[in-house]
Amino acid sequence: MKTKKQIVESYYENLWNKQDKTYIDKLFDDNIVFRGSLGIETRGKEGFIEYFDMITTAIPNLYHGIEVLIVEDNQVAVRAVYNGTHKGKLFDFEATNNRIKYNGASFFKIENEKIVEIWVLGDLNVLYKQLGK
């Protein structure tokens, strides 16, 4: 049995940092709800996969670093730092080849050892400045 901390650590390390999409089935409830700070909301695994592919195409070496992780009941809160190189189109931003680094916070709801909800709040002001806006 995995702890909620281990589930969230695997989300960052295996899904995002290693870009291993097999972890979507391992970690997510079929009806996962994802709300991203970039104005994205997805429902279900397929919607999340589209978001994941868009982000990893735009920033192929995106790394998620956990700075703080707090677990309470079925909730997990994470303060994270994101960094990588902007190599592809991200929304209205053409590739800049800029190194980006910005902070964010994510909130997870976990039930029956599966992530059922993620809400990400990133520092878009800092990100947009690094993308040239």
The whole domain housing 91 covers 4-130
Check: CB of residue 98 under 8 Å from CB of residue 90.
no
Q: What is the pLDDT of residue 2?
A: 93
Over 90: is that where the pLDDT of 88 sits? yes
Average per-residue pLDDT in the chain? 95
Which CATH number does the domain housing residue 86 bear? 3.10.450.50
> Contact 106/118 with Cβ under 8 angstroms?
yes
Kindly give, in sequence order, each residue whose CB lies less than 8 Å from that of residue 76, ignoring residues fewer than 6 positions away: 4, 5, 7, 8, 69, 70, 107, 108, 110
% of residues, the chain, pLDDT over 70: 99
Q: Name the residue among 105, 102, 107, 99 with its Cα closest to residue 121.
A: 105
More confident residue, 93 or 11: 11
Q: What is the pLDDT of residues 40-73, one digit of tens each?
A: 999 999 999 999 999 999 999 999 999 999 999 9
What total of structural domains would you count in the chain?
A: 1
Q: Are 115 and 80 in contact (CB under 8 A)?
A: no
Cβ atoms of 106 and 68 within 8 Å: the answer is: no
The whole-angstrom separation of Cα 87 and Cα 57 is 7
